[in-house]
Amino acid sequence: MLLLKGSFVSAFLLVISLIANVEAANGFSKRLVPPQTPATDPFYQAPAGYEFLAPGTVIRSRSFIPAGLGLIVDILSVRSYQVLFRTNGINNKPIVSVVTILSPLLAPNDRFVSFANEEDSSASICAPSYNYQFLAFPSNLLVQADLLVVQAYLLSGYTVSIPDHEGPDSAFAVGRLAGRVVLDSMRATQNFKDLGLKPNSMVAGVGYSGGAIAVGWAAQLQPTYAPEINIASFAIGGVPANLTGTFAFVDGTTFSGFLPPAIVGFQAESAYPELRQLVNRVATPAGQQALQFASTHCVVDDILSFAFQKVADKKFSSLGDRILYDPQVAGVLNDNLMGSNAFETPTKPILIYHASQDEIIPYANTSTLVDTYCNRGAAVHFTTYQAGGHLTTIVDGLPQTLQWVADGFAGKLKNNKGCQRDEKLDSPLDPVALGVELEPVLIGLINILAKLGEGDSNVQQNLHTLNQTATVPPLNKAAIASRQLH
């Protein structure tokens, strides 16, 4: 299946060089052409008249060779496709996006997992559809690391549908847009004839952090926007439920680099382009420089470049610490506040999990969202992880999420009513619970946990640790026992 191997850029370039030499010697060097970026690849471009198509309509498709860190993966056991489809932006403006589909050869044809990456960037080169192509430069390390999680679902036998949920303009953090793209990608996956899914196949929506924005909004919009989709369950973790709260929480910290790409994303053409005039008026030269950087770089570079700086500061904009009080800014943030409207309450079983010591997304905001859902009668299972931070909980929450997805497909969640709450005090990454077939994933995930440190402590001490999380060399199996697994 999908196995990440090698160290990062040096190994990537070394392998390309070695393969190129072999191919050139055999007269096949033309095969080693890296894929075009979304900005230049004609596949991503909308054809004339696309706006008259129904949301979720397949426009074009292609087979491709999936890869991690730019290196080829096993293509004998996985069918791989990319599909351009019609969807909607803010105010139902017609747009297109791409969904990447990976399907084990023996996958059941009555279900699939819709997985939303934490793309967390406002540059098109950061999209999963680009990063998962053979010989693509591995620009987004979070998306690359997500391949381990995707692999867990593939090894569990599921077809996995991975949308570019930020849309064609990389509108990071715009929940109302991302939710529509996720739902229309589910429609497109169902409509894609080459996949051979049965009509009305079951779908499980899964996302963490930036991916939780997309899937969380999909859960909220589904009853009115796409009620025909046969949702088995939703699962979201590390949920940025309140973007205003997240802004205030993270600004000026280690992770303040998430904010400039969000500002770029909100003023995208498919989102709220009316914000551009305000941003152009109030941003200082330093602010404009930070936004320009964010528009061409991915999340790890954004974090490294803007760490400990503040958006709510006169250095960034003339509004200084009053930026959140501007009526336009407050308006778009409120429009993307999860739980703000009663008619946008999820009607399908939803798992929500969050680390109580999350250093990036406020736990209190997610807890408030859960209370809101519960008061409206939603079927919610809320788990608090007491031992981890934001990044480590991506890994620690995987076993629970896998079980939730399986239970949903098995029909065990249909009768769920009301709210259930529990806590997990230690890491639940149990090799016995995951099963022997997921051992390669387990080893990779334990490597990531070791690099991140307890409660993300290593990252907070040295941000460059983020550059290593997707490139950790394999551990000896004995390393599994070195971590306390309960």
**CATH number of the domain residue 103 falls in:** 3.40.50.1820
Number of domains observed in the structure of the chain: 2
How many residues can be counted in the chain? Answer: 486
- pLDDT, tens digit (0-9, with 9 covering 90-100), for 412-429: 998 888 999 999 987 655
**In this predicted structure, what is the pLDDT of residue 174?**
98
Three-state secondary-structure class, residue 204: strand
Q: What average pLDDT does this structure show over 98-114?
A: 97
* Domain-embedded: residue 81: yes
Q: Are 19 and 46 contained in the same domain?
A: yes
Which domain, by its residues, includes 295?
A: 244-334
* Domain-embedded: residue 419: yes
Strands 160-163 and 111-116: parallel
* Domain-embedded: residue 124: yes
Residue 165: pLDDT band (50, 70, 90) is: very high
- pLDDT, tens digit (0-9, with 9 covering 90-100), for 395-418: 899 999 999 999 999 999 988 889
**In this predicted structure, what is the pLDDT of residue 74?**
59
**In this predicted structure, what is the pLDDT of residue 387?**
83
Q: What average pLDDT does this structure show over 309-330?
A: 97
pLDDT > 60? residue 329 = yes
Q: Highest mean pLDDT range out of 132-136, 438-442, 468-472?
A: 132-136
Domain boundary among 302, 334, 366: 334
Distance CA 75, CA 80 (A): 8
Residue 460: pLDDT band (50, 70, 90) is: low
Calculate the average pLDDT of the chain: 86
Which residues are catalytic, by number?
Answer: 209, 358, 390
pLDDT over 90, % of the chain: 73
**In this predicted structure, what is the pLDDT of residue 141?**
86
Domain boundary among 318, 334, 350: 334
pLDDT > 50? residue 88 = yes
* Domain-embedded: residue 251: yes
Residue 218: pLDDT band (50, 70, 90) is: very high
Q: What average pLDDT does this structure show over 5-34?
A: 50
**In this predicted structure, what is the pLDDT of residue 148?**
85
Q: What average pLDDT does this structure show over 438-452?
A: 54
**In this predicted structure, what is the pLDDT of residue 417?**
87
Please give the residue that has the higher pLDDT: either 14 or 140.
Answer: 140
Please give the residue that has the higher pLDDT: either 18 or 98.
Answer: 98
Q: Are 169 and 248 contained in the same domain?
A: no
* Domain-embedded: residue 40: yes
* Domain-embedded: residue 1: no
**In this predicted structure, what is the pLDDT of residue 476?**
34
Residue 40: pLDDT band (50, 70, 90) is: very high
Q: Are 350 and 367 contained in the same domain?
A: yes
* Domain-embedded: residue 159: yes
- pLDDT, tens digit (0-9, with 9 covering 90-100), for 73-82: 555 689 999 9
Kindly report which listed range (7-11, 113-117, 283-287, 310-314) carries the lowest average pLDDT score. 7-11
Q: Are 230 and 205 contained in the same domain?
A: yes
**In this predicted structure, what is the pLDDT of residue 226?**
98
Please say whether the beta carbons of 392 and 355 come within 8 A: yes
pLDDT > 60? residue 173 = yes
Residue 119: pLDDT band (50, 70, 90) is: very high
Query: How buried is residue 27: exposed, middle or buried, by Cβ count under 10 Å (0-12/13-18/19+)?
Result: exposed
Q: Are 341 and 314 contained in the same domain?
A: no
Percentages helix, strand, coil for the chain, rounded to the nearest 5?
Answer: 45, 15, 40
Q: Are 341 and 327 contained in the same domain?
A: no
pLDDT > 70? residue 458 = no
Here the tokens at position 245 are 């709260």
Residue 4: pLDDT band (50, 70, 90) is: very low
| 385: DSSP letter | E
Q: Are 282 and 376 contained in the same domain?
A: no
Residue 302: pLDDT band (50, 70, 90) is: very high
Domain boundary among 275, 303, 334: 334
Distance CA 16, CA 200 (A): 42
pLDDT > 50? residue 25 = no
List C-alpha distances in Å: 410 to 111, 203, 414. 11, 12, 9
Distance CA 375, CA 333 (A): 23
In degrees to the nearest 10, what's the CA dihedral of 337, 338, 344, 347? 180
Q: Are 359 and 410 contained in the same domain?
A: yes
Q: Are 172 and 33 contained in the same domain?
A: yes
pLDDT > 60? residue 13 = no
Contacts of 282 (CB under 8 A, 6+ apart): 317, 318, 319, 323
pLDDT > 80? residue 434 = no
Distance CA 437, CA 94 (A): 42
Please say whether the beta carbons of 114 and 163 come within 8 A: yes
**In this predicted structure, what is the pLDDT of residue 138?**
87
Q: What average pLDDT does this structure show over 220-247?
A: 98
**In this predicted structure, what is the pLDDT of residue 455?**
53
Distance CA 105, CA 140 (A): 28
Q: Are 221 and 168 contained in the same domain?
A: yes
Distance CA 325, CA 61 (A): 44
CATH number at residue 273: 1.10.260.130
Contacts of 55 (CB under 8 A, 6+ apart): 86, 87, 88, 180, 183, 184, 187
**In this predicted structure, what is the pLDDT of residue 430?**
56
Kindly report which listed range (26-30, 155-159, 345-349, 481-485) carries the lowest average pLDDT score. 481-485
Q: Are 325 and 383 contained in the same domain?
A: no
Q: Are 178 and 259 contained in the same domain?
A: no
pLDDT > 50? residue 269 = yes
Please give the residue that has the higher pLDDT: either 18 or 362.
Answer: 362
* Domain-embedded: residue 372: yes
